Structure 1
């Protein structure tokens, strides 16, 4: 009888621990932060001076000292600023939480449910990012096509950048690591610590070399 009571108590304790873990996880997903500044159409700053790069989108440059302000860059900046500056947001992450510049990579949601990353592309203020795969890759490409078809935002007078046909049709995916200079096939032992999907053409463009161990597809 004593053993039964001990077992029952242990089970109840385990259940309580699991409930607490799930509750804590849910709470972590709902942490709201304030956007204190917008840097450009795809980069914002949160309280605590945390820079956040919106995953999956690319807006015209306005802040790169090496480049002039690009067409529709100011409009993209104003759009993002109008939507998010001074407002509460929560972040959802993808495979990688930081980029090489130390910025947080995230999907950004407002309290009213607006998905900021998607909205920028939907309204024609940015392009779907094509260099790396991400969770909403196909959806963002579709939003871009719809914005172009409807001639809104940077597509309104035909000056928007057309995605290269080769990029649209390229389906060869390889993997790189956070610090390495080679690209790999799925399952390569070199991908144990980090694994970033990338299109083969982009890996070649960035001068990554094929891994000699897993023998991935070669650059043409």
Structure 2
């Protein structure tokens, strides 16, 4: 009886294995092999697909601009573009993967996950802090969770765009933050000179004389005050 149960159980096991294999295959999303045409920006390229050139906007990420008509060139924009260019130009195979949502944006650009020799470009940009997670829509968010983890790791390391505090924010990149920090740095230096670096002494007549770092006798003066 026990032997019969074992024999009867074999087909059940085979069915389960077949089912698991079938499910795993469903997780493998179709990719389309394309040929690189041109790199526009860190998050935008053009490819040849079905014999025509199509502009592709990377899903779920945003990189600083390099030639925006209003924003101009932003910090780390050139680095992001050059890194994307290096990845796609050196790749033996470039592929696109589409999500379940709209395949084009309002500018008629294709929306896709871009792969170079099996590696997702979005992830590679995030690993180096050259992109932020952005333009998230529920219907096109297949890999949102895993790329957010990468973004947090880069943020924690303070690399790329995360080197400058508050430069990368939820609504975009903020170069004005750098200007504000530069002004603060200059003010701090001025305050240091005005507060701590001024040397004071008293001459033979009892007159109090003050020397700033720009004074000709600053180095020779021994501070009394």
TM over 0.5: yes
Aligned partner (choices 72, 75, 82) of residue 78 of structure 1: 82
Q: Which has the larger radius of gyration?
A: 2
2:104 counterpart of 1:98: yes
Gaps of 5+ in 2: 1-28, 172-225
* Distance in 2 (alpha carbons) for counterparts of 1:150 and 1:103: 33
Q: Which residue of 2 aligns with 1:126?
A: 131
Q: Could you tell me whether the CA contact under 8 Å between 1:125 and 1:154 is conserved in 2?
A: yes
Relative to the length of structure 1, the TM-score reads 0.57
**Is this contact kept in 2: 1:90–1:109, CA < 8 A?**
yes
CA contact (8 A) 2:133 2:147 kept: yes
Detail structure 1 runs of 4+ shifted over 2 Å in the superposition: 28-31, 85-88, 130-133, 156-160
* Residue 130 of structure 1: how far off its partner (Å): 4.7
Structure 1 unaligned residues grouped into runs of 5+:
1-27, 165-220
Q: For 1:106, what is the secondary structure of its paired residue?
A: strand
Is the Cα–Cα contact under 8 Å of residues 36 and 86 in structure 1 kept in the other structure? no
Q: 1:140-155 alignment to 2 at 5 Å?
A: 140-155=147-162
Counterpart in the other structure of 2:222: none
Matched residues, number: 136
Q: Distance in 1 between matches of 2:107 and 2:169?
A: 27
| Residue 15 of structure 1: aligned partner | none
Aligned Cα root-mean-square deviation (Å): 2.1
User: Distance in 2 between the 1:162 and 1:85 partners?
Assistant: 30
- In the alignment, what sits opposite 1:40? 41
